């Protein structure tokens, strides 16, 4: 009987050993925690780019989508003859400079959807801190373009201690023109109006016949409320930050405008 | 408050009190081992009762005593396994409270009510088990037997409910409802919402099936061991048969598991693309290669066992020549399946490969090839089963030949559909290609269903070419059963790593960050060491339980030496001249 016992033991060890060995000979990839950066206002562009490269290849998880070319546009190699991302970033949105566009791509990825792709890119603010995001922007700029991220950008967008978080994203303008706000604040990325814009969310044509002004106001401030019928699958996709990005006057301008689109 | 700021605050308030220390493997390692071994035992005590009630029912209906005996034997193992489950559960609980107090406080805050229900159910479940086991002789006949069987059903109901609750906790960690924060659930979101989260149902289904598979594999390994230790031909025959049944259940339920897995994967993608992509293509992409190696071993061993089993069936010689072709097909498919596909490429690698995909791996590595390979392996295994069933039968129905031809045609059509879409998949967009796997799977399932139905009719009143000589099985075959059991156990450990690893540095995805030094997700080599450790702990304990089972059996015989002892109940043919008549498989 001992012989049998030993044989059974040997088989078990052999099988376990075999699988363990297989798992050891494949590449050993480990998923890192995003490293907390402490990039002050005096940081050099080189340091930013180096930190950004680490985030891009590691903790940022960017390569999971951008490393393949099928799920997301290539960033560090050419995409459709438009060059690497540093070269094409300035031409994406008229009037938007490269740096602002890249920052927006990472923080409000749905604001502009590159044609041919699904709006799957996550808001990186959930994963990365602000200086990490700026470092990633610097790294992307270095891919075919010029790095103009500075310590000041980080300081500007970092939340002031103790105070309510400052609005993130491109600097606010004071326009009260709803149509300008429509494109400036990125609603255009998801909502169609007069045949323009992305078709992720409901079209804005005739929205006033569906919703009252109060309901629209609430929807913009708290997008999780009262999901539009037929769009349940997309619930939660609309950024919840508009309440902080719009001034009260801008918000009211948009609400009145929309409520009147019967 | 922006999510980022909330996280920063969390990090600041996370003083050293958030995590405990554990010597040697560290806090994470300790929780890992406790959770995994607990889970393996839990799967055991969920899977085996499913078996026990089904075999008991077959016994009641067919009045065949051997099934009742089998069921009783399973239940004896359960009594010990139950205490082991509870023990490891307690260890896990203590590990969590002492090593991850802050995280655990978060969980108890949300789930406390369900935790009370959980322990009460566990209590009720143990009592049901004791009644079921110790009442076996008392309620053996007539209505009493049905009552007894009802206890078995109840045992399953309790066990499954316990699992559903625990699944609620762990799926919450993967896919918490929107609005949850480290402070708890927002107003209007209840504990029930946290339990019934996006991945709860798919995990429930997946685990339920996997438990049946696991139960079957462990039972088969137990039988294999008793077979090797058997002293009399009767015992050998009994355990040979038991091993066959265990293996049959394990493999046939295993075949549906990938479909449940696809569903789970889809739900994960839908909940969070990034999580889904981390799972399939991110730093975990290599995990699926290891998984493919394991599943390849499973298919090969299962088929090998069946082919060896033909030796005990008169009439099976006719089919033996085909097995080498089936072996070849299995191996080719295995290779295609284990070929890596999407890997993270760094910039230099991308440049040197001239694109995102390796020029050679690209062809074999994409989903089309993999789906084709897996579906062909399933078809081949099904064919083995079919041949095995047919081996000693000679159909008497007049249309037997036509029927067999139709069956053959079904196989050919299914294989052709699988191949066609496999090849066509290279020429279409990814999004279309994903749809193709549905056709492939559909063809295989239709084939399995159609062929089985025809087979049932062809087999009606079939003439026997001779009885199955249970017990006449080379010892090698039993080692194949061990390999299967060890592989299933390891696979469970690996999938557990995949499931919890995709959360990466989050205790609760995007709600509660892991700020301990162990927050990074380890590479597969380290994970494999941990998995192997868990598997070895589990298997040694199981061996101990089997040994105890043997002791208990001997003790009960010593007290009341039954006249038939381990003698073979009617209905089992023994590899001995003049044995009782056989009923086949």
Q: Which carries the bigger pLDDT value, residue B340 or residue A177? A: A177
How far away is chain A from the Cα of B130, in angstroms, using its nearest Cα? Answer: 31
- In this structure, are A150 and A182 located in the same domain? no
pLDDT class of A40 with cuts at 50, 70, 90: low
- Looking at residue B547, its pLDDT comes to 82
- In this structure, are A183 and A92 located in the same domain? no
Q: What would the mean pLDDT of A248-262 be, rounded to a whole number?
A: 85
In a domain? residue A104: yes
Q: Do A11 and B479 touch (CB under 8 A)?
A: yes
Q: Which residues 210-229 of B have a C-beta within 8 angstroms of A?
A: 225, 228-229
- In this structure, are A119 and A150 located in the same domain? yes
C-alpha A83/C-alpha A89 separation (Å) is: 9
pLDDT class of A139 with cuts at 50, 70, 90: very high
- List the structure tokens of A109: 């990825």
C-alpha B356/C-alpha B343 separation (Å) is: 9
The secondary structure element, H or E, covering residue B573 is none
Q: Do A12 and B536 touch (CB under 8 A)?
A: yes
DSSP code, position B24: T
C-alpha closest to that of B149 among B28, B60, B265: B60
- Looking at residue A163, its pLDDT comes to 33
Please, are residues B573 and B468 in contact by the beta-carbon 8 Å criterion? yes
C-alpha A202/C-alpha A215 separation (Å) is: 15
Tell me, what CATH number does A195's domain have? Answer: 1.10.760.10
Q: What would the mean pLDDT of A6-28 be, rounded to a whole number?
A: 90
- In this structure, are A198 and A149 located in the same domain? no
CA torsion sign for A124, A130, A135, A137 is positive
| Other C-beta atoms lying within 10 Å of the C-beta of residue A259 | 18
Q: Which residues of A touch B522 (CB under 8 A)?
A: 30
Please, are residues A184 and A256 in contact by the beta-carbon 8 Å criterion? no
The secondary structure element, H or E, covering residue A111 is none
C-alpha closest to that of A135 among A35, A67, A245, A65: A35
- List the structure tokens of B281: 């293509």
Length of chain A: 262
Phi-psi category of B445—alpha, beta or left, where left has phi over 0 and alpha has psi -120 to 50?
A: alpha
C-beta pairs of A125-128 under 8 Å, 24+ apart in sequence: A125/A168, A125/B2, A125/B3, A125/B4, A126/B3, A126/B4, A126/B510, A127/A34, A127/A59, A127/A60, A127/A61, A127/B510, A128/A34, A128/A55, A128/A59, A128/A60, A128/B4
- Looking at residue A164, its pLDDT comes to 34
A143-157 confidence digits (pLDDT tens): 888 888 887 787 776
Please, are residues B247 and B481 in contact by the beta-carbon 8 Å criterion? yes
Q: What is the mean pLDDT of each run of 10 residues along chain B (585 residues)?
A: 46 60 87 95 91 88 85 86 91 92 91 93 92 88 87 94 94 90 86 91 93 91 90 89 89 82 80 73 74 88 87 77 84 77 42 38 50 85 84 77 88 89 71 68 88 85 76 88 95 93 87 84 91 95 84 59 40 39 34
C-beta pairs of B456-459 under 8 Å, 24+ apart in sequence: B457/B397, B457/B403, B458/B395, B458/B397, B458/B400, B458/B403, B458/B404, B459/B389, B459/B390, B459/B393, B459/B395
C-alpha B76/C-alpha B545 separation (Å) is: 10
What total of structural domains would you count in chain A? 2
**Within its chain, how far is the Cα of A124 from the centroid?**
5
C-alpha closest to that of A59 among B514, B13, B99, B2: B514
In a domain? residue A13: no
Contacts of B427 (CB under 8 A, 6+ apart): none
C-alpha B332/C-alpha B162 separation (Å) is: 42
C-alpha closest to that of A28 among B493, B275, B487, B287: B287
- Looking at residue B478, its pLDDT comes to 93
- In this structure, are A60 and A138 located in the same domain? yes
Q: Which residues of B touch A242 (CB under 8 A)?
A: none
Model ipTM value: 0.81
- Looking at residue A191, its pLDDT comes to 82
Interface size, chain A vs chain B, as Cβ–Cβ contacts under 8 Å: 150
- Looking at residue B515, its pLDDT comes to 82
Q: Do B528 and A20 touch (CB under 8 A)?
A: yes
* Burial annotation B530-561 (CB, 10 A radius, 16+ → b, else e): bbbbbbeebbebbbebbeebeeeeeeeeeeee
- List the structure tokens of A212: 């009252």
pLDDT class of A87 with cuts at 50, 70, 90: confident
Contacts of B119 (CB under 8 A, 6+ apart): none
- Looking at residue B433, its pLDDT comes to 61
Q: Do A26 and B290 touch (CB under 8 A)?
A: yes
In a domain? residue A57: yes
Q: Which carries the bigger pLDDT value, residue B494 or residue A206? A: B494
Q: Which residues of B touch A61 (CB under 8 A)?
A: 274, 278, 282
- In this structure, are A255 and A224 located in the same domain? yes
- In this structure, are A151 and A200 located in the same domain? no
Q: What would the mean pLDDT of A198-225 be, rounded to a whole number?
A: 83
Select the residue from A4, A35, A55, A67 to test the B interface by mutation, using most B Cβ atoms within 10 A.
A67
- In this structure, are A147 and A51 located in the same domain? yes
E strand residue ranges, B263-406: 393-394
Q: Do B344 and A12 touch (CB under 8 A)?
A: no
Give the one of B2, B278, B525 whose C-beta lies nearest to A23's C-beta: B525
Give the one of B229, B522, B539 whose C-beta lies nearest to A30's C-beta: B522
- Show the CA angle centred on residue B193, arms to residues A34 and B520, nearest 5°: 20
Q: At residue A174, does pLDDT exceed 80?
A: no
E strand residue ranges, B76-144: none
- In this structure, are A132 and A65 located in the same domain? yes
A193 φ, ψ (degrees, to nearest 5)? -145, 125
3-class DSSP state for residue B239? Answer: helix
- In this structure, are A129 and A51 located in the same domain? yes
Please, are residues B173 and B503 in contact by the beta-carbon 8 Å criterion? yes
- Whole-Å CA distances, B31 to B44, B81, B98, B545: 20, 20, 10, 23
C-alpha A212/C-alpha A219 separation (Å) is: 11
C-alpha closest to that of B497 among B535, B464, B468: B535
- Residue ending a domain, among A125, A157, A189, is A157
The secondary structure element, H or E, covering residue A97 is none
Q: Do B344 and A70 touch (CB under 8 A)?
A: no
Q: Which residues pair with B228 in a beta bridge?
A: none
- Looking at residue B368, its pLDDT comes to 64
How far away is chain A from the Cα of B290, in angstroms, using its nearest Cα? Answer: 6
The ranges assigned to domains in chain B are 316-467
Q: Which residues of A touch B294 (CB under 8 A)?
A: 19
A215-241 confidence digits (pLDDT tens): 888 888 778 778 888 777 677 677 776
In a domain? residue A214: yes
- Give the domain range for residue A219: 178-259
């Amino acid at each position: 009987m001992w012989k049998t016992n030993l044989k059974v033991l040997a088989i078990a060890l052999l099988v376990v050993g075999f699988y363990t060995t297989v798992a050891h000979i494949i590449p050993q990839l480990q998923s890192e925690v995003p490293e907390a950066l402490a990039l002050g206002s005096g940081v050099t562009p080189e340091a930013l780019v180096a930190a950004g490269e680490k985030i891009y290849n590691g903790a940022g998880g960017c390569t999971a989508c951008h490393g393949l070319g099928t799920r997301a546009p290539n960033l560090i190699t050419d995409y459709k003859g438009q060059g690497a991302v540093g070269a094409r970033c300035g031409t994406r949105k008229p009037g938007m400079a490269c740096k602002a566009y890249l920052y927006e791509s990472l923080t409000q990825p749905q604001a502009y959807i590159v044609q041919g792709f699904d709006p799957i890119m996550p808001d990186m603010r959930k994963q990365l801190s602000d200086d990490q995001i700026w470092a990633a922007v610097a790294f992307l700029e270095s891919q075919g373009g010029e790095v103009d991220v500075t310590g000041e950008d980080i300081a500007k967008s970092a939340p002031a201690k103790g105070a309510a978080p400052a609005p993130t994203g491109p600097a606010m303008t004071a326009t009260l023109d709803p149509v300008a706000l429509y494109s400036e604040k990125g609603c255009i990325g998801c909502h169609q109006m007069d045949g323009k814009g992305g078709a992720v969310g409901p079209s804005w044509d005739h929205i006033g016949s569906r919703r009252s002004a109060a309901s629209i106001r609430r929807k913009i401030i708290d997008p999780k409320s009262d999901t539009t019928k037929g769009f349940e699958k997309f619930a939660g996709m609309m950024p919840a930050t508009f309440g902080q990005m719009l001034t009260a006057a801008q918000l009211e301008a948009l609400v009145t405008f929309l409520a009147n689109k019967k | 408050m922006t999510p980022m700021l909330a996280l920063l605050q969390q990090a600041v308030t996370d003083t050293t009190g958030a995590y405990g220390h554990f010597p040697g493997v560290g806090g994470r390692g300790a929780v890992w081992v406790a959770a995994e071994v607990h889970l393996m035992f839990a799967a055991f005590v969920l899977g085996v009762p499913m078996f026990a009630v089904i075999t008991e029912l077959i016994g009641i209906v067919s009045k065949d005593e051997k099934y009742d005996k089998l069921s009783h034997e399973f239940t004896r193992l359960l009594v010990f396994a139950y205490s082991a489950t509870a023990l490891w559960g307690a260890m896990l609980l203590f590990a969590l409270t002492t090593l991850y107090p802050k995280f655990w406080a978060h969980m108890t805050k949300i789930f406390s009510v369900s935790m009370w229900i959980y322990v009460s159910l566990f209590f009720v479940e143990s009592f049901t088990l004791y009644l079921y086991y110790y009442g076996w002789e008392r309620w053996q006949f007539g209505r009493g037997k049905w009552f007894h069987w009802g206890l078995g059903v109840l045992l399953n109901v309790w066990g499954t409910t316990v699992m559903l609750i625990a699944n609620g906790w762990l799926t919450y960690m993967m896919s918490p409802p929107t609005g949850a924060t480290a402070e708890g659930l927002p107003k209007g979101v209840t504990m029930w919402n946290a339990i019934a989260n996006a991945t709860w149902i798919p995990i429930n289904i997946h685990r339920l099936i996997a438990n049946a598979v696991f139960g079957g594999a462990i039972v088969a390994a137990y039988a294999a061991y008793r077979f090797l230790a058997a002293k009399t031909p009767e015992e050998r025959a009994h355990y040979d048969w038991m091993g066959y049944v265990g293996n049959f259940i394990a493999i046939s339920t295993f075949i549906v598991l990938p479909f449940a897995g696809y569903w789970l994967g889809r739900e994960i993608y839908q909940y969070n693309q990034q999580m889904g992509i981390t799972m399939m293509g991110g730093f975990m992409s290599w995990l699926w290669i290891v998984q493919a190696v394991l599943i390849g071993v499973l298919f090969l061993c299962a088929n090998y066992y069946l082919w060896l089993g033909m030796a005990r069936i008169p009439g099976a010689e006719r089919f033996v020549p085909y097995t080498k072709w089936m072996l070849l097909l299995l191996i080719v498919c295995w290779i295609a399946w284990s070929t890596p596909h999407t890997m993270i490429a760094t910039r230099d690698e991308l440049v040197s490969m001239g694109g995102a995909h390796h020029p050679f791996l690209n062809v074999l590595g994409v989903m089309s090839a993999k789906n084709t390979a897996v579906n062909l392996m399933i078809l081949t295994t099904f064919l083995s089963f079919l041949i095995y069933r047919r081996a000693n039968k000679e159909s008497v129905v007049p249309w037997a030949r036509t029927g067999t031809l139709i069956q053959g045609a079904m196989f050919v059509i299914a294989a052709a559909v699988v191949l066609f879409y496999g090849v066509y998949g290279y020429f279409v967009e990814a999004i279309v290609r994903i749809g193709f796997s549905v056709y492939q799977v559909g063809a295989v399932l239709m084939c399995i269903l159609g062929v089985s139905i025809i087979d049932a009719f062809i087999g009606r009143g079939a003439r026997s070419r001779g009885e199955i000589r249970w017990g006449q099985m080379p010892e090698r075959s039993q080692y194949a059963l061990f390999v299967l059991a060890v592989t299933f156990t390891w696979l469970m450990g690996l999938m557990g790593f995949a499931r919890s690893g995709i959360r990466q540095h989050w205790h609760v995805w995007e709600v509660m960050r892991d700020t301990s030094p162990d927050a990074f997700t380890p590479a597969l080599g380290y994970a494999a060491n941990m998995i192997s450790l868990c598997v070895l702990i589990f298997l040694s304990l199981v061996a101990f339980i089997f040994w105890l089972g043997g002791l208990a059996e001997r003790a009960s015989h010593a007290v009341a030496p039954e006249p038939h002892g381990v003698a073979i109940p009617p209905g089992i043919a023994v590899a001995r001249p003049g044995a009782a008549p056989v009923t086949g498989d």
